[in-house]
Amino acid sequence: MRGIGRRSPSPHLSRGEGRGEGRRHTPTSAQAAAPHPNPLPTEEWGEGTRWRQPAGVFAMAAAAGFAAIATLALWPITDGARAQQSADPLATLKAKFARPGFVPSPPGNPPTPTKIALGKRIFEDKELSSTGTISCTSCHDPKLAFTDGESLGKGVTGRPLARHTPTLWNVAWSPLLFWDGRASSLEEQIRFPVEHPDEMGSSLENAVDRFSRHDSYVRAFAEAFPQDPRITPANIAKAVAAYERTLVSPPTRFDTWVAGDTAALSASEVNGFRLFAGKGQCINCHSGFAFTDHNFYDIGLPNEDKGRGAEINLRAADYSFKVPTLRELAWTAPYMHDGSVGTLDDVVRIYEMGGIDRPTRAKDLPPVIRLTDDERSDLIAFLMTLSSETPPQPSREAWVHAAEPTTRPPPADTTIVSQANKLFQPHYVRLKSGQALTVLNDDTRTHNVRIYDPRFDYNSGAQEPHDTVTIRFPARGTFEAFCGIHPSMRLTVVVE
């Protein structure tokens, strides 16, 4: 069933980022089985040095930090703070999901109305495909919340693709694109579906030739890119990316509740939110405004697809896939990277059972979750509050077009960075030329340090808890690092 005329009143919904999932799909026996997995019994690259070292080396600094935190914890609470806590005991938790104040965009591709309009036109143009029959909207249909409503979509060849079509809601905040994170930006992403032989089977160079035949396209590119008015692959990518960054999911009843309307959610839905953040531990991965931390996890599904691990050649990331947004999930069924789960009830029950117990299964997930029928019903009721009552349209809130702040705090002068709670701490540091940077995994998770830069291509490999890597930068300048498994972890290093 491809279309959804209205939101289903039941969590048992109909099956309903550019895909570019670079290989052909061959159904496996695991995929052909029932969607509930049965719980089972119980590399180094780059210019760095790595060794295992007890976390106690850093204990004195940590102790000082904890002492300061303890001192603050004992500071007298003001009457105003007590009143606020009494008025809404969930205020601090709700604030974690507040809507942002701007849409991020890269310095080299600032949004303009003419560029966004051009990107939308290209997004809807079937001339992007080799046959002239497939556009971006063929798989990312605005009427279906920018999905296709299918378990596995089809392109120009009609063959099923390897992975499910993800929604495009809120992709502006995603540091890596696709289920396996193969694209580092929306500008880079477009080539994958256009060039994939089973999707569009063409190239951006072919699109240049086709668009150049239309005077209206020639004028549109000149208006959108006055400094470089040519029709080029780069300008096509920039225009589409600018449009895709406007696909911000609209506010729902949940946002009204977060903003202070206590009557916006029922008692069942509020209890579902408590379960989401507490007993269910869903917040460990589905966090923030978009209800995703944009990282990659193995959730224990039976599958032969190694996902992120195959993409970055890292066994610790095998079977890991990007956490999808939960926004508008009532309109984006079926679920999971392979589209194998048709209802929210099934999704919740999979997490309850825990999945396959293998070394790569995410430590952020509890082994099992024991929910009563009422608790499961409340949790699903809450999840439905993240969806619009009618087919959703991109948000028109004023902040969607607000300017991005240009200032940031100064960098920390330190040669030691910690990885904890899926963050680099500090995340902005300054080194003197010749100094080495030491990165300690002070977390319970496996991490990684990755730098893509023409001056320095560095990959630490799997960095286990208490592992330390030392990185020596080859030149002065600013370098951007991230964790290849948890790419929302970002580190900026200025070498002076």
- The CATH class of 412-495 is mainly beta
According to DSSP, residue 144 is labeled: G
Strand order from edge to edge, sheet including 428-431: 412-413, 428-431, 490-495, 477-482, 450-451, 458-459
Sorted by sequence, the CB contacts under 8 Å of residue 465 that are 6+ apart come out as 441, 442, 443, 444, 445, 446
Alpha helices (runs of H) in 74-214, residue ranges in sequence order: 79-87, 91-95, 113-123, 136-139, 186-189, 191-195, 204-211
Domain ranges (residues) in the chain: 412-495
The string of pLDDT tens digits covering residues 243-259 is: 999 999 999 999 999 99
C-alpha pair distances (Å), 352 with each of 37, 153, 158, 370 = 11, 28, 36, 6
Contact call for residues 423 and 483 (beta carbons, < 8 A): no
**Active-site annotation, residues:** 199
Per-position DSSP letters for 284-333, written without gaps between them: GTS-TTTT----EEB-----S--BHHHHHT-GGGTTBEEPPP-TTGGGS-
The closest of 272, 473, 446, 452 to 375, measured between CA atoms, is 272
| Positions in the chain short of pLDDT 70 | 1-86
Contact call for residues 149 and 15 (beta carbons, < 8 A): yes
The pLDDT of residue 21: 52
